[in-house]
Amino acid sequence: MERWEHEIVELKEAKGGYDADKIGCYFSEISNEANLRNQQYDWLVFGISEKDKIKHVVGTAYKKASGFV
């Protein structure tokens, strides 16, 4: 998992929710990078935390929180 995150793959914790504006910014950033690199896909993955530069799968409940995407 340490090597997964790069310009077209973004890993976020998003434990209880994630602001729609932040999601929009991340989508814009990674889709622009994918386009520049002539890649068809990009990824925004929720449920991954980072502690001491080590990534952990923690899951997410972002759909359950009111006012968040």
pTM value is 0.69
* pLDDT one-digit tens code per residue, 5-57: 777 888 888 877 678 888 888 889 999 999 999 999 898 888 888 888 888 88
DSSP string, 9-63: EEEE--SS---HHHHHHHHHHHHHHHHHTT-S--EEEESEEEETTEEEE----GG
SS3 (DSSP) at 19: coil
Q: Is the pLDDT of residue 61 over 70?
A: yes
